[in-house]
Structure 1
């Protein structure tokens, strides 16, 4: 058991990162009171500065998120296309929905969890229900904060974003595209949809950012239309 500011966390597994360093995996964070309290602070009190683009990126095992290998790659791609004043990153997933600048706030820096390793259908259903609720709240809070929204996600995180966007009627572009996910899908792998760090996914992410950058610089105030085949824009 690991003592934190809330109830003790239970270590359910120990995994290794790519360098062989052990990482303790805790029980699901989305059930915990401190995550709901932090979420309510963000929704009820935290001011989110307006930006042209809201970028929704999935949470990572390594904390803070910005130091994880995946987020370093994502940010490298983003910074190669967009100016810092054009976008705002939001991290979402088992952590809830977190403006990236709050990644060091408790409890977001103090947990390790991997939903993909949990095969309990009840837990996965609960995650979906809770994350849809949290995404809906954040999308509603920031309805007039961003001109465009892009979510780079696969698997359960993507399903939650789709439902939240449809429920709120707020358009969110989704990448990678459905055809790219189908192309890279490998049923023999533990995670059939693969990793968002895979080159095909990253290439589409960069292309999607370039399209958004063009729209922003052209002064377009509408949600993306005429997207390439398979590129999804979720709207009610």
Structure 2
């Protein structure tokens, strides 16, 4: 048994593999079923203080850990930092990891798993992911209802569906990018992932434009 420094609870390590980036990976099955992830989620919901910001930015989790070092997140963060002032926004990572304030990305177990939902063809697992992620997103949206004035989620696929349902069930508005028309335009039924990647240029252009609109909205409200 290994004592976890962040969560204060012992965990059983069955197998540990070091990836090429130096992360110790010990979880290879769907993480959303695991007690470690529910315990971490409950810590975030019940005990962690989320500092108020103008904007909550929701980004999907990435295969490479920590998330901020993944190629996609480096791209996203470069665009964000080119448009918004860091004092105005807070990044939240969501997906198979649950809902994770970005500053906690190195907390166990968020950099100790390797899993890709997109490669899963088991319908039961995908339905379970949706149910669990909607529950976790609802909890986070309700916890931070007064923490953000604006919320923007950049997502496609199952993560987007979960965010849409969580927003509808809580009544807390979350703007979504890319737009549905852009997703339809880039959709390729012959690809393994028909909606493509959030790093595709059409999606990225809309993301940047959406951030610019948010920035202008903040500037306008500060003058009134």
Deviation of 1:218 after TM superposition, in Å, equals 1.0
Q: Which residue, 81, 95, 98 being the options, matches 1:96? A: 98
Measured on the aligned residues, the alpha-carbon RMSD in Å equals 2.2
Instruction: Give the Cα separation in 2 of the matches to 1:28 and 1:8.
Output: 16
- 2:31 is aligned to 29
Q: Secondary structure at the match of 1:170?
A: coil
Q: Which residue, 192, 195, 200 being the options, matches 2:194? A: 192
Unaligned runs of 5+ in 2: 5-9
- 1:130 is aligned to 132
Unaligned runs of 5+ in 1: 18-22, 221-236
Instruction: Give the Cα separation in 2 of the matches to 1:188 and 1:9.
Output: 38
1:196-211 to 2 correspondences below 5 Å: 196-211=198-213
Q: Secondary structure at the match of 2:172?
A: coil
Does the CA-based 8 Å contact 1:6-1:33 persist in structure 2? no
- 2:123 is aligned to 121
Structure 1: 4+ residue segments shifted above 2 A: 4-11
1:6 and 2:11 equivalent?
A: yes
1:26-105 to 2 correspondences below 5 Å: 26-105=28-107
CA deviations on 1:78-128 (whole Å, 9 max, x unpaired) are 000000001000000000000000000000011111000011000000000
Using the size of structure 1 for normalisation, the TM-score is 0.84
Q: Secondary structure at the match of 1:137?
A: helix
Instruction: Give the Cα separation in 2 of the matches to 1:55 and 1:109.
Output: 20
CA spacing shift, 1:9–1:179, aligned 2, 3 Å: farther
Instruction: Give the Cα separation in 2 of the matches to 1:46 and 1:107.
Output: 16
Instruction: Give the Cα separation in 2 of the matches to 1:106 and 1:178.
Output: 35
1:85-234 to 2 correspondences below 5 Å: 85-219=87-221
In the comparison of the two structures, how many residue pairs are matched? 210
Deviation of 1:6 after TM superposition, in Å, equals 3.1
Q: Which has the higher helix share?
A: 2
Does the CA-based 8 Å contact 1:10-1:26 persist in structure 2? no
